[in-house]
Chains A and B, each alone.
Chain A
Amino acid sequence: MHQSYTTWRNYLLNTDIPFSDKAWTVYRHQLEHQPVYRRFCDELPVKEGRNGDHRADADPDAIPLIPIQTFRDAAVRADYVEAPQAVFRSSGTTGMKRSTHEIADLRLYFDSCYRGFSQFYDPREFVLLSWLPGYLDNPESSLVAMIDHLVQRDGTGQSRFLPLDQPLAGVDLSTVSNMNTVKYLNKRRHRRSSGLLHANGEASEAPAKKRRIMLFGAAFGLLDLIDAGAPKLPADAIVVETGGMKTRRRELSKEELRGQLAEGFGLPSASVHSEYGMAEMCSQAWDTGKGSFRCPPWLRITVRDPENPLQALPPGEEGLIGIMDLANVHSLAFFLTQDRGVLFPDGSFRVLGRWDHAELRGCNFLAE
């Protein structure tokens, strides 16, 4: 019998429970309630350990990852989900079948996004300006839903989607933190720290902290913004790009992209950050300017051998990025992407573009 959505939320986002405990629990749950995943595991030639009776401390890398195409080819909702609360679809070119991710518990999705974001940034420190021209055309974009939630959570009302016709018009980039923001922050601090009242009954005067700009957008859109003459951002601003170069421009390396964004917005390259997420994930990984992504505690990245995707590769070796997103408990938590990546010993990872499966065919000098 599956647990209630609330129980799952509390359990999965509880950072005191080790990831491997939760991963095996979700794995067993998926074997029981996710028919496509169960069939996939049943079909695998290696049955040993597939029934989920692992020790809690066993390495979750032993969990099989199903191809990400499953989101395109099959209904991925768990058998107890009657109607999803939201449906996200991947962007896709004309004629291409898009992935569909049915979200059974929207609150789990939003909690995962917000609490994941909060692992790396203090939301109270930023005004989020979002520039997502291509994505706003897609009402089923998970990215738009995530950003919208982050915008809504900013009670100052300053975070927002930038209008398509005048992206940065009217934004006072030097002093985003106006008096309203300061008043709001102080009021909120006062509410939260009622025990810290002065003897005279007045709230302590917290210093009027200026909020930093976080400009969030798809890589191609941000470059277009620069080309259109976007102003330089304040020195303490950060830019967060979400990937998404294909179909718009030639693909740039991460370093090239970072360099162009930094130069275009007048920031040091360490102020250009990245987000790794997709319609198929309820959680996101973040690169806070260090050059590699880190995950919230309920998400883990594994890198798999393209010639044997059941085999995890050690840190340092390039392979296919595998996702263990426990917030996907009601859809598909363990799947293999088509992204090329490399894992580092500290658990962070880097995305190196798309894996070209044809590399394994034909002759290749470098592969020798």
Chain B
Amino acid sequence: MARSPEHITQRIAVICEAIGAWLDNEDGILGITVNRTATEGLFPRHDVMFMLDQIARTVTLEALQGWADRAAGTTPVPGPASEMPNVLCLHAGNLPLVGLQDIVATLLSGSVYYGKLSRKDPWLADGLLRVLRKRMPGQLGGWAVRLEDLDRAGAERVLFAGAETSVPEVQRRVRELGLASEKALFLPRTARFSMAWLADEDFPADNAQLGKLSRQLAGAMLRYEGRGCRSLALVVARRSLSDFAGNLTDAAEVFVRKNPPSHFRSPGVSYWRSYLNSTGKDVYDLGGQIITDDPELIGRDNVICWMRGDEDDVRRLVRQLGPKLQQVYVHSGQDAPASQDTADSLDTAASLDTVASQDTVAGSAHEAGMAFHPLAGVPGIRLAPLSEAQSPPIDWQPDGVDALSWLWKGYSP
């Protein structure tokens, strides 16, 4: 693996120190913004605390260095004197701090960050950016919740969440406001959800192990109310849903008790539930979501599909779903790196010390184990351990694109 140059290592140190200080509640910023986020009902407190826990675990010197080194192995690293571009990040998120990776990638690349913050997440990201600006003032251009309130950045790179087909509309809007240059490159993040593959051997005979599998599945499905692209929306398994539904609904009940969703069930879910019941399909409640064995409903909001099938079905579905699919999870038997059971006991500033002092997990710790999986190397399949579904390393690749390499591409070493 290539070693990234010294100026990148120095940047990594600054970023890590800043994120550590933010997690340590420097100037009381994190405590205040967590409280505002929770009390305004933007995200449940347990989801915010879970995310902070993941950041503390994954944004480490080792993880960022590993990321930079891997990117340096594929893309020439711009030199310290290179004039790096302004980068516009259009954050839109259904989960707290969803744009963190884009922020870190932009700063790590040496570019100047401009951001449109998500309306659902105006406080947390703002707090983090303020702490970062104290340490890297030259790289923090500006940010706002409304596009119209942003400075005319004339960005040369734009990262945003949305379908490929939405690129022209996004281009039009940002160019109209002078936020991006005419020659700017756009990187849409197209993935919408993830799937899991469970072979026969993934269903252990041992009840304790079966319980662990159920808990991992429930966490992957229900964390962040199933909203993120890493959320599990489709399971292909050698066993039928009815065989496993009891274990799954039990695990979901425990999860929901500890992590109550912000709403019971959306009208859309009730609608599909009524339909499935009226036509005699298998359907089970999982918190605010439902799970069914009707493959026609794949991708619907808050509806999880369970298909009985084999690896050929996985390959077929990956081809069929294309860019909508983020990850294919496989059961590794490992526990999730984060303690979901304790997340709800954390309470804002008082508990932030605990969050910041969690053991760290290097970004790609599980990647090597995936290389020997029968589905490894199949085009379009991005494997990850089920236990990492909601705890990805900082350098995980939305749609298979590494943001750091993308930002470096085209700038002279």
Binding site for B on A (CB under 8 A): 36-37, 39-40, 42-45, 66-67, 69-70, 72-74, 306-311, 356-368
Contact = CB atoms under 8 A, between A and B. Distances in A.
A307 B168 CA distance: 25
Given A306-B268, A358-B193, A363 B279 contact: no
Interface in B258-300: 266-268, 270-275, 277-281, 294, 296-297, 299-300
Contact of A73 (B93, B279, B299, B300): B279
B279 A74 contact: yes
B376 interface: no
Interface in B33-83: none
Interface of B: 90-95, 98, 116, 118-120, 160-163, 166, 169-170, 189, 191-193, 226-229, 231, 233, 266-268, 270-275, 277-281, 294, 296-297, 299-301, 324, 326
A206 to B, nearest CB: 53
B193 A361 contact: yes
Most B Cβ at <10 Å: residue of A72, A306, A365: A365
B324 A358 contact: yes
Most B Cβ at <10 Å: residue of A40, A357, A362: A362
Contacts of B91: 365
Given A43-B273, A307-B266, A365-B116, 16 more contacts: A67-B275, A69-B296, A70-B275, A73-B281, A309-B271, A357-B299, A357-B300, A358-B193, A360-B301, A362-B228, A362-B326, A363-B95, A363-B98, A364-B166, A365-B90, A365-B160
Contact of A362 (B166, B229, B268, B277): B229
A365 B270 CA distance: 26
A296 B266 CA distance: 35
B90 to A, nearest CB: 5
Contacts of A74: 278-280
A39 B299 contact: no
Contact of A368 (B95, B119, B226): B119
Contacts of A361: 192-193, 226-227, 229, 231, 233, 299-301
Nearest to A35: B278
A39 B277 contact: yes
A363 B271 contact: no
B90 A307 contact: no
A365 B166 contact: yes
Contacts of B273: 43
Contacts of B94: 362-363
8 contacts: A37-B278, A69-B279, A74-B280, A308-B271, A359-B163, A363-B98, A365-B90, A365-B160
A368 B99 CA distance: 14
Contacts of A360: 268, 300-301
Contacts of B266: 307-308
A72 B281 CA distance: 12
Contact of B270 (A39, A45, A66, A356): A45
B98 A357 contact: no
A221 B268 CA distance: 37
Contacts of A364: 92, 161-163, 166
A361 B163 CA distance: 12
Nearest to A73: B279
A168 B210 CA distance: 66
A365 B167 CA distance: 10
B299 A40 contact: no
Nearest to A67: B275
A310 B269 CA distance: 11
A45 B274 CA distance: 8
Given A308-B266, A365-B92, A365-B170, A44 B274 contact: yes
B279 A70 contact: yes
Contacts of A43: 273-275, 277-278
A45 B266 CA distance: 11
Pairs of residues from A and B, 5 with the lowest C-beta to C-beta distance, nearest first:
A358-B299, A43-B274, A363-B161, A308-B267, A362-B192
B263 to A, nearest CB: 12
B229 A310 contact: no
A39 B98 contact: no
A359 B226 CA distance: 14
B91 to A, nearest CB: 8
A357 B170 contact: no
A307 B267 contact: yes
Most B Cβ at <10 Å: residue of A42, A70, A358: A358
Contacts of B279: 36, 69-70, 73-74
Contact of A365 (B161, B294, B326): B161
A359 B92 CA distance: 13
Nearest to B229: A362
A360 B228 CA distance: 10
A297 to B, nearest CB: 28
A36 B274 CA distance: 11
Contacts of B268: 306-309, 360
Given A43-B277, A43-B278, A308-B271, A362 B169 contact: no
A42 B279 CA distance: 12
B192 A358 contact: yes
Nearest to A70: B279
A368 B98 CA distance: 14
Contacts of B116: 365
A368 B92 contact: yes
A309 B273 CA distance: 12
Contacts of A310: 267, 271
A133 B312 CA distance: 33
Most A Cβ at <10 Å: residue of B163, B191, B280: B163
Contacts of A363: 92-95, 98, 161, 189, 228-229
Given A36-B279, A43-B278, A357-B300, A362 B271 contact: no
Most B Cβ at <10 Å: residue of A44, A306, A308, A361: A361
A170 B270 CA distance: 57
A39 B278 contact: yes
Nearest to A65: B271
Contacts of A36: 278-279
A368 B118 contact: yes
Contacts of B160: 365
Contacts of B231: 361
A344 to B, nearest CB: 22
Contacts of B278: 36-37, 39-40, 42-43, 66, 70, 74
B162 A365 contact: yes
B123 to A, nearest CB: 16
A306 B268 CA distance: 7
Given A39-B277, A366-B170, A359 B192 contact: yes
